[in-house]
Amino acid sequence: MSGSWADVGQTVEDLVAERPDEYGSEVRAVMADLLALMERLDGARPYIGPGYWPTFVLNFDEPGFENLQLEVFGDRIEVYRFTDQLFDVREEKHVPGEGFSEAFIRDLPTSNA
């Protein structure tokens, strides 16, 4: 995604504004933690869209990470890796304000990827 991290944050604010009564403080806090981590890691900026629940869904066009999708909930992040026929999914439990596991951090696209 082109643009700045401020643009990414604005996208999240716009999504919340479209459904202000549906996005709880927990899911917004987990999303803020995730974006802060990705920015610190100098990660690829994601494309962000609304999820169904409501959640946030992040997709990437960074080479090697086109098959990665993250879905942000109020208590976890679901990590999807799509293949030609199936997909793998795992959960990263997350309490707002706490850290992320090393395994999760390794899943993210960074400038060193």
Residue 75 confidence (pLDDT): 97
Enclosing domain of residue 27: 5-107
Residue 113 lies in a domain: no
Residue 2 confidence (pLDDT): 58
Residue 113 confidence (pLDDT): 42
Residue 112 lies in a domain: no
Q: Which token pair is 76?
A: 């976890």
Domains contained in the chain, number = 1
How far is residue 101's CA from residue 92's CA, in Å, rounded to a whole number? Answer: 8
pTM confidence score:
0.91
Residue 43 confidence (pLDDT): 87
Residue 103 lies in a domain: yes
Residue 40 lies in a domain: yes
| pLDDT cut 90: percent of the chain above it | 81
What DSSP assignment string belongs to 3-56? S-HHHHHHHHHHHHHHSTTTS-HHHHHHHHHHHHHHHHTTPPPPEEEE-SSS-E
Residue 80 lies in a domain: yes
